[in-house]
Amino acid sequence: MNIEEIKKFKKNEKLVMLTCYDFQMAKIFSSVGVDLILVGDSLGMVFQGDSTTKNVTMEQMLYHVEAVAKGAKSIPIVGDMPIHSYSTKEIALENAQRFINAGADAIKLEGYFPETINYLVKNGIPVQGHIGLLPQTYESFKVVGRKKEDHDRLLKEAKEIEQAGAFTLVLESIPEQLGKEISELVAIPTIGIGAGRFCDGQVLVINDLLGMDPDFHPKFVKRYANLFEIIAHAVSQYKKEVKEGNYPQKEQVYE
């Protein structure tokens, strides 16, 4: 699969995107055949333990892209441009190129920056747009687009980002009806996160899908596993056996 082929998800089948931050998880995604990997700046929250994505740096993003690229066999990787990495179109191009050199196939740019997107695309960088709730500049994690002015603005932004040359568009935390309208309006695939059932694809933060944090459960997340409990159980078994002198056993020692 390559970035050009990702565009076919508009008509034929739903697109599956997931965030990924490390080599082993990318290997699992490759064995399943996920369509698109996002090395998201959400790693600032799920990996680094911050309450926002506002402190993530280019160096941190590149470190994770390199790790993911080693495990992602034939899945296109989107590198998420962190805050301050696209303050001018020239800076954006320089940083986008660093993402590509690290192993990304495309970059994601958060917010309404059609000129920068167009500049990157003209310079050969595939760009994924991202509108709706914008974690890099948010005031609160609330649904966006319920007010008529926001609804109309997001429709306009979606169209202009498409015209700027983006190959896909992430829609975050918007009402389902608006997700449907945007998906009908633009010819590129829309990928929803909290944007309802009518988007052309869906993306989730992998840690949320796996139930890694019992304290974080927004409405749009479906937990497909409870890894917090599974891992806590395994660790407590290990702790018990070490304390009791029952690990290691004969099978785990070298003669």
Please state, in angstroms and rounded to a whole number, the distance separating the CA atoms of residues 249 and 77.
42
Q: How far is the CB of 170 from ligand KIV (least distance, A)?
A: 5
The reply on whether position 199 binds ligand KIV by CB under 6 A is no
- Provide the pairing of β-strand 168-172 with 15-19: unpaired
Please state, in angstroms and rounded to a whole number, the distance separating the CA atoms of residues 132 and 153.
10
Site string for ligand KIV, 22-61 (x = CB under 6 A): ----------------x-xxx-------------------
Is 172 considered catalytic here? yes
Q: How far is the CB of 254 from ligand KIV (least distance, A)?
A: 43
The reply on whether position 170 binds ligand KIV by CB under 6 A is yes
Whichever of 56 and 93 has its CB closer to ligand KIV, that residue is: 56
The reply on whether position 174 binds ligand KIV by CB under 6 A is no
The reply on whether position 205 binds ligand KIV by CB under 6 A is yes
Whichever of 112 and 241 has its CB closer to ligand KIV, that residue is: 112
The residue behind tokens 């891992």 is: 231
- Contacts of 1-7 spanning 24+ positions with Cβ under 8 A: 1/35, 1/74, 1/75, 1/76, 2/76, 2/105, 3/76, 3/105, 3/106, 3/126, 3/167, 6/35, 6/36, 6/76, 6/167, 6/168, 6/189, 7/167, 7/168, 7/188, 7/189
Cβ neighbours of residue 162 under 8 Å, at least 6 residues apart?
129, 169, 186, 187, 188
Strand partners of residue 107: 79, 127
Please state, in angstroms and rounded to a whole number, the distance separating the CA atoms of residues 208 and 220.
10
Q: Which of 106, 193, 199, 206 binds ligand KIV (CB under 6 A)?
A: 193
Q: Give yes or no for a contact between 200 and 191, defined as CB atoms under 8 angstroms apart.
A: yes
Q: Give yes or no for a contact between 125 and 150, defined as CB atoms under 8 angstroms apart.
A: no
Q: How far is the CB of 95 from ligand KIV (least distance, A)?
A: 16
Cβ neighbours of residue 235 under 8 Å, at least 6 residues apart?
none
The structure tokens listed for 171 are 């829609």
Whichever of 122 and 217 has its CB closer to ligand KIV, that residue is: 217
Q: Which of 35, 80, 105, 157 binds ligand KIV (CB under 6 A)?
A: 80
Identity (one letter) of the amino acid at 189? Answer: P
Active-site residue, selected from the candidate residues 110, 157, 162, 172: 172
The reply on whether position 208 binds ligand KIV by CB under 6 A is no
Whichever of 80 and 157 has its CB closer to ligand KIV, that residue is: 80
Site string for ligand KIV, 149-168 (x = CB under 6 A): --------------------
The reply on whether position 190 binds ligand KIV by CB under 6 A is no
Query: 87-146: which residues touch ligand KIV (CB under 6 A)?
Result: none
| Residues carrying an active site annotation | 172
Q: Which residues would be at the binding site for ligand KIV (CB under 6 A)?
A: 19, 38, 40-42, 80, 170, 172, 193, 203, 205
